[in-house]
Homo-oligomer: A and B are copies of this chain.
Amino acid sequence: MTTGSGTAPAHPAETTPAAARPARRGAYRRLSVEERRAQLISAALGLFAHRAPEDVSLDDVATAAGASRPLVYRYFPGGKQQLYEAALRTAADELELCFAEPRSGPVTVRLSQALDRYLAFVAERDTGFSALLQGGSVAETSRTNAIVDEVRRAAADQILLHLEVAEPGPRLRMMVRTWITAVEAASLMWLDEGKQPPMAELRDWLIDHFVTLLAATGASDPQTARVLRAALAIEPAEGQAGALARRLMPVLGDASHLL
């Protein structure tokens, strides 16, 4: 029906993971090596969403994926550690996709769209997100830290790209990376608090945090001040930066003795 000989292979595709076979149709459609691998990782990520990695066995993954334990071991001969790293790698790649956003329009709108995707990812992964970020005792910390750090770096690069900064100075870089850590920490707290406040409220707060942190940094760093000026210039009054500015006025109004 699909393969060269026209007959079913003597051995299931899974016994020869080195050779990727074309996918076949029908009730007995066998998965290609890549598809099977992706399916096992997806099953593992599904389990990590409700349990800590150390509480997920390869048996559990096999059951969830409708596969045999030996098959799971054939794909991940390094066992739990290898499966965990592969899952983290996959999650990291998905996470990096969240940050991709066209470079047009007000920065707060772009940030809002990227944060919506990021928070949806966090909400879906839930416990698994915490576990992936924190490594857990199952994983070798330095290797998993490297994967997570790569995502943080990718996020920082994206933000600097949107701020139109080709050569960020140390203060601006530190500001952006600090905000990314804050976003991460806030997401973990948000999961801990049963996803309260509502996602849109958390997102808006994170954007307000970004804008005010740009201001705090711009107050003593000329490059950041230029970036902030350029960003605010294209923010519309009815947008989020405008709403923030108007909401801040009464709060700061009482502090005119400081000026």
Contacts and interface: CB of A to CB of B under 8 A. Distances in A.
Nearest to A219: B247
Contact of A229 (B141, B184, B254, B257): B254
A39 to B, nearest CB: 29
A66 interface: no
Given A170-B197, A189-B177, A220-B204, A213 B215 contact: no
Nearest to A196: B170
Interface stretch (A76-84, A90-98, A130-138): A130-138
List the number of copies, as a whole number: 2
B181 A215 contact: no
B196 A189 contact: no
Interface in A188-211: 189-190, 193, 196-197, 201, 204-205, 208-209, 211
Given A141-B135, A178-B185, A209-B216, A255 B248 contact: no
Contacts of A184: 181
A244 interface: yes
Interface residues of A, number: 60
Interface in A232-259: 232-233, 235, 237, 241-242, 244-249, 251-252, 254-255, 257-259
A225 interface: yes
A136 B145 CA distance: 10
B259 A245 contact: yes
Interface in A155-206: 170-171, 174, 177-179, 181-182, 184-186, 189-190, 193, 196-197, 201, 204-205
Interface of A: 134-137, 140-142, 145, 170-171, 174, 177-179, 181-182, 184-186, 189-190, 193, 196-197, 201, 204-205, 208-209, 211-213, 215-220, 225, 228-229, 232-233, 235, 237, 241-242, 244-249, 251-252, 254-255, 257-259
The 6 closest A-B pairs by CB, nearest first: A181-B185, A212-B212, A219-B247, A232-B255, A212-B216, A208-B216
